[in-house]
Amino acid sequence: MRHDNFSSDEERRQYLADLARLKKIREAERERQNNSYGIDTKHKKRKKKGWFLRIILIVMLIAVCYFAYSFFKRQTGYYTVAVFGVDARDGNVGKGALSDVNMICNVNMETGEIQLVSVYRDLYSQINDDGKYHKFNEAYFLGGPEDGIATMERMTDVKIDDYATFNWKAVADAINILGGVDIEITDAEFKYLNSFITFTVEGTGIPSQHLEHAGMNHLDGVQAVSYARLRLMDTDFKRTERQRKVVSLAFEKAKNADYATLYQLVTVVLPQINTSVTIDDLAPFIKDIKKYHLGATTGFPFEKTGKNIGRLDCVVPVTLRSNVIALHELLFGIENYKPSGRLEQINTKIINDTGVGGDGKVTPSIDEKSSGGSNNTTNNNQSPVEPEVPEQTSADSQDDEELIETSSETESSTEETIESTEIESTTKDLETSTKESSSSKKEETESTKPASTGDNTKPSDDASVEGPGATKEAPIETPPETTHEVGPGVPSE
C-alpha cells in the first residue's frame, strides 16, 4: 500500500504502526539466527575496534624493535657517508651541479674515529653503468647524488651507507654559527684570498671582510669557505687538503658547542642540505658525541699522475687497484684486500687508456694536523666586503678548461691594490696628514674604476692547468668597493 493512497489519516497511522512492529519482528528474528551461530551482534563493533588497536600495537612494537636493532647495530662496525660539496649559487644541490668536494667520511662506531678521504674531482673514472669514462665530478653533474654515490662505490670498492650534499652558503652559515675557525694563512694563499672572499660574498649574499695580512687569522664563514676554495697558487690536491682542514676545525668547534648552538646549526643548515641521513642515523652520535674524534685525513688516489686523455686533463691512479688496496687497509684495517671483479676491469681499462701501469705497494700520505686553535676572537683589522646580487653563470664545462696566464704587470698591480686597500681602511685615522688625506681621496676616486689586479680577481674553479688542478692565475675583474658594508647583520659605523 502506498503512503499517498490512504483514505484517512487514521488508516495511514495504522499502517505505519504495523510497519514498525514488522521491523521489530524481523530484527528479533535476525538476532535469534545470529545467536544460533554464536555471533554476538552487541559486541561486533567492539571486537572490530579491539582488532584495530591490536594491529596498531603490533606495528608500533615492530618499529621499536627495528629502531633498537638499528641503534645497537650502529654501535659496532663502520658507518660510511659520501659528502658532496657543490658550487651552485641558485641553491641547486642535485643534478646539474658540479661537485667540487667529493669526500668519504668513514666512522668507526666502536672507537669513535672519523676518517676523511677526498676523492679528487679530476680522477679519470667510469661514471655510469654504460661504461662512460670522464672526470669524477661529471657523474654528479649528469646524475645527481645517485650517480655520484654509484661512481664513488665503483672507483673505491667502498659501500656507502648514506650521503649528504651541501652548497657553500650552508658551510658559511654553519661556520658562522659555530663562531668561526682559526687558520694559518700563507703568503701565497693571502695573495688570492681576498678576491675569493669577494666572489663568495657575491655568491652567498653573506657579508664578510677582507683580510689584511697573512699568518694566523680568525676566519668567519665566508672567509673559511673562500680559503677552502683556493687553488690558483698551487694545485687541486692542495685545495682538497684545505677543505679537509676547514671541516676538521669546524668539527672540533661543534664537539664543544652547547645545545643551543647545535640546535641552531641543525635548524639553519639542515634545510639547505640534500641528504639521506635521518634522526635514527644521528642518534648514536648525539648520544655520545664526545666519543668521536678525527683520525687520518687524506686524498685519493694516494699514488697518482697527471695525464691528458683526449680533451680531458685528468688525475690517473698508479694504479687504481694498488690504491684501492691501500684505501681499504687505511679505512677498515684490511690487509691484502682483494678488489672486486668490477674494479679489476676498470683498473685494466684505465691502464689501457692512459698507458700508466705498474702494481707496486702504495702507502697513503696522511695530512698533517691542522694548525690554529678554535678561539672565538675576531680580527678587527679587516676590510669590509659588500655583498652584491650574484649574476647567474652557466655551469663550467667538463670537457676542457682554458689555460689562464697573468703577466708580470698584473702581479705588480696586485701589490698596489693591496696597499690602496690598506690606505682606504685607515682614512679616518690619517685625516690630520694632508698628504695622506689627499692620497685617500684619490684612492676613493680610483676605486670606482676597473683595475687589473691579481688580488681582486674573480676566481674560476674551471681554470685549466698544465697538470691536473695546477691552475696558475685567474681572469681579471673590477675590484670591489671596500669602504662600506650593506649586507644583513652588518653593524653600523
pLDDT in tens, 93-114: 889 998 999 999 999 999 999 9
Instruction: Count the domains in the chain.
Output: 2
Residue ranges making up the domain that contains 320: 78-354
Within-domain flag for 23? no
Q: For residue 410, list its beta bridge partners.
A: none
Statement to judge: residues 116 and 57 lie in one domain: no
Among the ranges given (82-86, 106-110, 232-236, 284-288), the one the predictor scored with the smallest mean pLDDT: 284-288
Statement to judge: residues 244 and 221 lie in one domain: yes
The per-residue pLDDT for range 142-184, each reduced to its tens digit, is: 999 999 999 999 999 999 999 999 999 999 999 999 999 999 9
CB-CB neighbours of 423 under 10 Å = 15
State the amino acid at position 223 in one-letter form. Answer: Q
Within-domain flag for 174? yes
Among the ranges given (67-76, 78-87, 306-315), the one the predictor scored with the smallest mean pLDDT: 67-76
Q: What is the Cα–Cα distance from 349 to 190, expressed in whole angstroms?
A: 41
Whole-angstrom CA distances from 88 to 96, 170, 236 are 9, 11, 19
Cell of 314: 685528468
CB-CB neighbours of 442 under 10 Å = 12
pLDDT, mean of residues 326-345: 96
Vertex 145, ends 289 and 302: CA angle to 5°? 70
The per-residue pLDDT for range 386-419, each reduced to its tens digit, is: 444 333 333 343 333 332 333 333 333 333 333 3
Q: What is the Cα–Cα distance from 160 to 117, expressed in whole angstroms?
A: 13
**169-199 core/surface letters (b: 16 or more CB in 10 A; e: else):** bbbbbbbbbbbbbbbebeeebbbbbbbbbbb
Look up cell 691528458; give the residue. 308
Whether residue 300 contacts residue 327, with contact meaning beta carbons closer than 8 Å, is answered with yes
Statement to judge: residues 328 and 210 lie in one domain: yes
Cell of 136: 669524477
Within-domain flag for 126? yes
Cell of 480: 670591489
Whether residue 278 contacts residue 70, with contact meaning beta carbons closer than 8 Å, is answered with no
CATH number, domain containing residue 196: 3.40.630.190
Statement to judge: residues 68 and 140 lie in one domain: no
Cell of 166: 651541501
Within-domain flag for 261? yes
Statement to judge: residues 104 and 52 lie in one domain: no
Within-domain flag for 472? no
Cα within 13 Å of Cα(223), Cβ side:
28
Statement to judge: residues 65 and 88 lie in one domain: no
Within-domain flag for 457? no
Residue after which a domain boundary falls, among 293, 328, 354: 354
Q: Sorting pLDDT into bands at 50, 70 and 90, what band is 259?
A: confident
Q: What is the pLDDT of residue 347?
A: 97
Statement to judge: residues 148 and 211 lie in one domain: yes
pLDDT higher than 90, residue 307: yes
**Mean pLDDT of all residues belonging to the chain:** 75
Q: What is the Cα–Cα distance from 169 to 201, expressed in whole angstroms?
A: 9
CA gyration radius, the chain: 33
Whether residue 227 contacts residue 189, with contact meaning beta carbons closer than 8 Å, is answered with yes
Statement to judge: residues 173 and 288 lie in one domain: yes
Within-domain flag for 69? yes
The per-residue pLDDT for range 342-360, each reduced to its tens digit, is: 999 999 999 999 999 887 8
